[in-house]
Amino acid sequence: MTLLRIEYTKTGLLRYLGHLDMVRLFERGFRRGQVPLLFSQGFNPHPKIAFAAPLSVGYSSEAELVEIEVEAGWEDQQLSRIFSECFPSEIAYRRHRILGSSKSLMSMMRSSDYQLVWSLPKAFCEDAVKVVEGFEALSSLTAVKKSKGKKDKEVALKPMVHTLKLIKTGEPVTRKVVTPAEVLEIEQCDLTIVATLNAGSESNLKPDLLMDALAKLAGMEGGTPGTALQVHRTALYGEGGKALFDME
């Protein structure tokens, strides 16, 4: 048996593909590429494919990780070609490594880097900049986390934020914004923000929840027309800030 860890990108329209569909996409891609995957035992055998923390629908990434178990002796240098020929172009191979053994990616993962583009009405831009730049000075920040089948829970967000930095404020631009009632023309500004947030099985903070809380501090309520968030994941880390790709 050979254990392989693969880093790949998820971009374009495939950022709207949910995790279960991603699992099926990888199973089909490896089957087309004739990768000799090993299967689990039991009544319902399935290919041994394990992902790091799944991306939320709508997020893109340049640093996703998946591990696969294949038959010993398989020529792993074929992986780049297999991704190119058997996967959509939005799922692109970056690199891989062979592991002797490893804990699960999810159990080792501790944080993620993100690049966020926060689009908001020009009227709120100045206050939003002040909120982001003043984040470190906040004594606390909380939000209500909603989960399917569970009671709503208030969570402390600030301890889950390692860094939050505004790197660019775009010039105002007028865009058409579709609302349930009508199409509006709204003057917006784009704030580009980089953040490192808790991620993994022990503690996980989604950028949406953080930015919703910051929006309220800037005077915006949920559903304010002209507000949007683009999320792009750029790196995954384990304990001590070590790159998850390099850990065992």
CB 186 within 8 A of CB 95: no
| pLDDT reported for residue 149 | 73
* Torsion angle (degrees, nearest 10) of CA 173, 178, 182, 188: -20
Gap between the Cα atoms of 118 and 188, Å rounded:
10
The domain 2-102 is placed in CATH, from the list 3.40.50.10330, 3.30.70.580, 3.40.50.970, 3.30.70.270, at 3.30.70.580
Judged against a pLDDT cut of 90, whether residue 221 lies above it is answered with: no
Among residues 17, 58, 189, 176, which one has the least CA distance to residue 117?
A: 189
pLDDT tier at 178, thresholds 50, 70, 90: confident
On the question of pLDDT at 101 being above 80, the answer is no
Q: How confident is the model at residue 22 (pLDDT cuts 50, 70, 90)?
A: very high
CATH code, 111-241: 3.30.70.120
What is the rounded CA–CA span in Å between residue 200 and residue 87? 26
In this prediction, residue 103 carries a pLDDT of 86
pLDDT at position 24: 96
- Statement: residue 75 has pLDDT above 80: yes
Q: Do domains 2-102 and 111-241 have the same CATH topology?
A: yes
pTM score, whole prediction: 0.93
Is the pLDDT at 71 greater than 80? The verdict is: yes
Give the residue, 222 or 90, on which the prediction is more confident: 90
Mean pLDDT of 48-52: 94
Identify which of 25-29, 168-172, 218-222 has the greatest average pLDDT: 25-29
Domain ranges of the chain: 2-102, 111-241
Radius of gyration, CA atoms only, the chain: 20
